[in-house]
Copies of this chain bind each other. A is one copy, B any other.
Amino acid sequence: MLQPAPAVPGMPEDEIDTPALILDLDAFEHNLAAMRDLLAPFPKVKLRAHTKTHKSAVVAHLQGRHGAIGQCTQKVGEAEALAWGGVSDILVSNEVVGRSKLARLASLARIAEVGLCADDIAHITAAEAVAEAAGIRLKMLVEIEVGSQRCGVSPGEPAVELAKRIAASRHLRFGGLQAYHGRAQHISRWADRKVAIAGTAEVTRRTVDQLRQHGLDCQIVGGAGSGSFLLEAGSGTFTEVQAGSYVFMDSDYGAIEGPDGAKALPFRQSLFVLATVISAARPGIAVLDAGHKAVPLGWGLPRVVGMPDVKVTSHSDEHGNLAIEGSTRRPAVGEKLRLLPPHCDPTVDRYDWYVGVRGGRVECVWPIAARGAMH
């Protein structure tokens, strides 16, 4: 069931029902503009922002107003939320398996430019059959393995073979290459990320050249995330970068080194979880109404904004314990605190609404229409 919105525009932040997902609008808008400015020196490289982070057509449109030419998604359900919300250019940057998923994607091709990826002949024949039945031509990219050790056919000849098969189909259209190096995104040192992405760009460039020798042009050469996109953008090979996390940031991304000497990426944390202290009955402990259902586990525990001497020490299903022993400020029952989530993507996917806040007041409440869209 859709959960009710936890706030109404105009409300002070401390009246928001908790746990709530808070978007600091000043920081969010800074990030939108910073990305546009960072990509300005690369006029041939476009931003195709990643929906898996924000799950919302509202955010997608704002990214579009700051230069994004479209969105990429991991799931057909995310593509539906975008297309139904008026986003016109969507790439599922992932393999799509299953006839019903493919049929849903093909149906979106009537209202938006859509595409998907393949790393196996099975993906191509399945997409071809569904596109034929739907009477449309489906754009298909070949995903190549460039360091993620996950999906992706080997670069070079194996990729060319798949591309030729796609291009030969009357129901498909060869769209280019998907070359995402996920593991490089969180390499802490910029110099090490640079080396990793140089390798990615090199094998990608060679595959693009081989394709060209077979008369196959890559409309899209896509990849990159928030940790590495300037490297792909500067490679001369990539035409699109697929950063997502930059709009929100999180403590994971906040901890990595920025380009060439900068201490951090030039984006600000804009995403928070607002929680309420519900118990302070035990000495040295305060308990929040936000546990791991509110801030998923897996990347460490959240930090409390503005209270460096207060630590989240454990998260159960619905409770977060704070150690307040050494703190000068002792949070009281009813007090609201902002938490800094360690990883933005799964945190967003827990909520039905963004609550946009500026200057201590709620300015907007936006639906997270693709929340839970795993199909």
Q: Which chain B residues lie closer than 8 Å to A119 at the CB level?
A: 279, 281
A110 to B279, CA, bound (A): 27
Nearest CB of chain B from residue A347's CB, rounded to whole Å: 11
B352 lies within 8 A of A372 (CB): yes
Q: Nearest CB to that of A119 among chain B residues? A: B281
* In the complex, A257 has a CB within 8 A of chain B: no
Query: Are the C-beta atoms of A95 and B278 separated by less than 8 Å?
Result: yes
The answer to the question of A4 belonging to the interface, with a C-beta cut-off of 8 Å to chain B, is yes
Q: Does A18 contact B (CB under 8 A)?
A: yes
- Complex Cα–Cα for A145 and B17 (A): 26
Question: Complex: how many Å from CA A172 to CA B282?
Answer: 24
Q: Smallest CB-CB separation from A81: which chain B residue?
A: B1
Contact with B along A143-160 (1 / 0, CB 8 A): 001000111111000000
A145–B276 alpha-carbon span in the complex (Å): 20
Q: Are the CB atoms of A279 and B150 closer together than 8 Å?
A: yes
In the complex where A182-B316, A292-B298, A334-B97 touch, is A367 in contact with B1 (Cβ < 8 A)? yes
Copies of this chain, complex-wide, total 2
Quick check: is A350 within 8 A (CB to CB) of the other chain?
A: yes
Q: Are B151 and A52 in contact (CB under 8 A)?
A: no
Q: Is the CB of B1 within 8 A of A369?
A: yes
Q: Which residue of B lies closest to A298 (CB)?
A: B297
Known: A2-B1, A120-B281. A296 touches B294 (CB 8 A): no
The reply to whether B321 and A150 contact each other, CB–CB distance below 8 Å, is yes
Q: Are A97 and B369 in contact (CB under 8 A)?
A: no
Closest 5 CB pairs of A and B: A297-B298, A151-B279, A74-B318, A119-B281, A95-B278
Contact of A17 among B3, B98, B154 (CB under 8 A): B98
Interface size counted on chain A using CB atoms at 8 A? 71
- Name A residues whose Cβ lies closer than 8 Å to a Cβ of B: 1-4, 6, 17-19, 52, 74-75, 77, 81, 94-98, 100-101, 119-120, 122-123, 145, 149-154, 182, 276-282, 285, 287, 289-290, 292-294, 296-298, 316-319, 321, 332-334, 345-346, 349-352, 367, 369-375
**Set of chain B residues within 8 Å of A352, measured between Cβ atoms:** 1, 372
Give bound CA distance, A94 to B293, whole Å. 16
**A150 to B282 alpha-carbon distance, docked (Å):** 7
Q: Say whether B74 contacts A278, CB under 8 Å.
A: no
CB distance from A212 to the nearest CB of B (A): 23
Extra contacts besides A95-B287, A120-B279, A122-B332 (6): CB < 8 Å = A4-B375, A52-B317, A145-B282, A151-B278, A292-B346, A293-B346
Contact of A145 with B281 at beta-carbon distance under 8 Å, contacts A97-B334, A298-B297 already known: yes
**Residue in B96, B97, B278, B374 whose beta carbon sits within 8 Å of that of A3 in the complex:** B374
The smallest beta-carbon distance between A275 and chain B, in angstroms, is 10
Q: List residues of chain B with CB within 8 A of the CB of A319.
A: 150-151
15 A-B pairs, CB-CB below 8 angstroms? A1-B372, A17-B100, A74-B317, A75-B318, A97-B276, A97-B277, A122-B333, A150-B285, A151-B287, A152-B279, A292-B346, A293-B346, A296-B296, A318-B374, A352-B372
